[in-house]
Amino acid sequence: MPTPVRISASEAFVETLAAHGVTEVFGIVGSAYMDAHDLFPLAGIRFISTAHEQNAAHMADGYARVTGRTGVCIAQNGPGVTNFVTAVAAAYWGHTPLVVITPEAASKTAGLGGFQETEQLPIFSKITKYQAHVNAPSRIAELTHRAFQLAQLERGPTQLNIPRDHFYGEFETVLPTPLPIRRGAGDLAALTRAAELLAAAKFPVIVAGAGVNAAGGRAELIALAEQLGAPVVNSYLHNDSFPDEHPLAAGPLGYQGSRAAMNLIHRADVVLALGTRLGPFGTLPQYGFDYWPRGAKVIQVDVDGRVLGLVKPVDVAVQGDARLAAAALLEKLQATQGPRTADAGRIALVAAERRAWAAELAERAGADEPGRVDPRRALAALAAALPPDAIVSTDIGNVCSVANSYLAFAQPDSFLAAGPFGNCGYAYPTALGAKVGAPQRPVVAYVGDGAWGMSLAEVLTAVRENIAVVAVVFNNGQWGAEKRNQIDYFDSRFLGSELRNPDWAELARTMGADGVTVTREADIGPVLRAALASGRPMVINLVLTQALAEPFRRDAFQPPRRLLEKYRAHSAKA
């Protein structure tokens, strides 16, 4: 039994952070936690000061996703803490292990409406996996430890709420030791039934989700796919869950995904959804094609039992770790089938589908204009110039989302996207956090010009902290996703969707970063390669035409019908 130590509350808090391997914390300094904050350097913790608290939480998200460690953010009570909300929600739906430290107004004046006071636990109650409130200084180490354990166990954000007066006080305590997280492959009977379905399948297809990367299950997935001769499709915005160069790789599902992947999964008689909740937006019809195989048997494997069968009906549900479940299924299949060689016919089919999709993508590209590049041509040129070990984060919006058609990865933990929460302003701060976590890897953020207005202040953070991320700003003077809807449903009445922008490159230089404007397709690759080689924060102001891709979803709109005479001019035309 460890020996109790005499310690202050702030020391107990910081020692627990250090015990859980925390070496970086993102946030804005505040008086509410300054007694503990003062100890960070002595504990080996780098405090990365940001321009806005939302971006601090996004940085912690990006850091966690590329390192597998728990991201940490902290801010002043009240308005600093409420600024975390959007980013914490994104991390919640992205299954990112995050500890959100929320200092609170003093306990002795709670409820009196004092300076910077609000009830902070209810605000995060629906977007965290666990909430701890430190109700006495002597419990600060215990509850800090608990927040870290559950962030990893539950794969999501946890909140640690600490009244500012509880950073003070002295007591004897035993500092907790982090416990290893142990996971299993899943229920034996369910795995046996899943193996039977896969063994009997004539055309099995695997959907590889974020859980594959989280579990470190790349090798097991590859071996299982080769055993089955099964094409592998990526779940929506997880294009890094299976190596694109593998002959069974078919590309991503979801909005602006790969038609090759959709054609192949449509043929499936058995679908193995590995480490994915099969989110509704990632399986909606695309390109006028309802590709989900209605008659297929579906096996779903996920570490979170609450998502099994939630979105799609399943025939076999396995609550288990994606890596361990894939290994267990492989073992069962090899025991009955023996090791199998590559299925040449299946590989040829995947290759043919991919060639057809590549040709279609080339046909979808529009024409450049003088001083402006077609968005699809720009995305193709960017993808061709990316190094094989690059990390790319994408924002939400029309051009950024079309990148799903063009981004392919060899390595895991390479693609960061806002995912189902879909908030603007995600990509750049998340890229900064990823670069802090993986400084040896090149990191690029794709950002629309509307979303750039929400995140450009973090160029100051990149300069101050020397974080060499390249931001590619798609400058087309519009909120493209919403303008697309106005074109389709509102007779091109562009209310609030047109933008007048400054020179983003000049603004970056004013802030201390490098900045360059690109207006020609031929310059995109050389400029991106030079930016990555520079080792400096860089903003590429990429001037695009106003061409737009299909809307996110047509099922969410109806032709407008106005009943009052004063509004009839804005009714849909008969």
Q: 289: which DSSP letter?
A: B
Identity at 242, one-letter amino acid code: F
Pairing between β-strand 170-173 and β-strand 5-8 as defined by DSSP bridges? antiparallel
Sign of CA pseudo-dihedral 212, 218, 223, 228 = positive
Tokens of 2: 């460890």
Q: Given a cut of 90, is residue 447 above it in pLDDT?
A: yes
Residue with tokens 């202040």: 457
CA atoms within 13 A on the CB side of 469: 35
Model pLDDT for residues 348-358, shown as the tens digit of each residue: 999 999 999 99
Q: Given a cut of 80, is residue 517 above it in pLDDT?
A: yes
Determine which of 139-148, 213-222, 341-350 has the lowest per-residue pLDDT on average: 341-350
pLDDT at 296: 98
Better pLDDT: 42 or 181: 42
Q: Given a cut of 80, is residue 553 above it in pLDDT?
A: no
pLDDT at 116: 83
Model pLDDT for residues 229-238, shown as the tens digit of each residue: 999 999 999 9
Element (H, E) at 570: none
pLDDT at 365: 96
Better pLDDT: 446 or 282: 446
Residue with tokens 């636990």: 121
pLDDT at 516: 98
Model pLDDT for residues 398-437, shown as the tens digit of each residue: 999 999 999 999 999 999 998 889 899 999 999 999 999 9
* Helix residue ranges, H only, 408-479: 427-437, 449-455, 459-465
pLDDT at 177: 93
Q: pLDDT-derived band of residue 97, with 50, 70 and 90 as boundaries? A: very high
Model pLDDT for residues 8-17, shown as the tens digit of each residue: 999 999 999 9
Q: Given a cut of 70, is residue 565 above it in pLDDT?
A: yes
CA distance 322 to 414: 18
Beta bridge partners of 24: 46
Q: What is the dihedral of CA 57, 63, 69, 72, to 10 degrees?
A: -30
Task: Say how far residue 569 (Cα) sits from the centre of its chain.
Answer: 42
Determine which of 160-169, 323-332, 491-500 has the lowest per-residue pLDDT on average: 491-500
Do 232 and 243 meet the contact criterion of CB atoms below 8 Å apart?
Answer: no
pLDDT at 238: 97
Q: Given a cut of 80, is residue 48 above it in pLDDT?
A: yes
Better pLDDT: 553 or 64: 64
Better pLDDT: 447 or 557: 447
pLDDT at 212: 98
Could you tell me which residues come within 8 angstroms of residue 303 by beta carbon, excluding any fewer than 6 positions away?
155, 183, 211, 214, 215, 275, 319, 320, 321, 322
Model pLDDT for residues 263-272, shown as the tens digit of each residue: 999 999 999 9
What's the whole-number mean pLDDT along residues 528-540? 98
What's the whole-number mean pLDDT along residues 234-254? 97
pLDDT at 573: 78
Give percent of the chain with pLDDT exceeding 70.
100
Of 435, 510, 561, the closest CA to residue 65 belongs to 435
Give percent of the chain with pLDDT exceeding 90.
89
Burial class of residue 464, CB neighbours in 10 A (0-12, 13-18, 19+) = middle
pLDDT at 1: 64
Mean model confidence pLDDT for the chain: 95
Tokens of 85: 């909300």
pLDDT at 420: 87
Residue with tokens 């989302």: 401
pLDDT at 262: 98
pLDDT at 552: 77
Pairing between β-strand 415-417 and β-strand 391-394 as defined by DSSP bridges? parallel
Could you tell me which residues come within 8 angstroms of residue 512 by beta carbon, excluding any fewer than 6 positions away?
459, 460, 463, 537
pLDDT at 315: 98
Q: Given a cut of 80, is residue 343 above it in pLDDT?
A: yes
Q: pLDDT-derived band of residue 550, with 50, 70 and 90 as boundaries? A: confident
What's the whole-number mean pLDDT along residues 80-107? 96
CA distance 356 to 421: 32
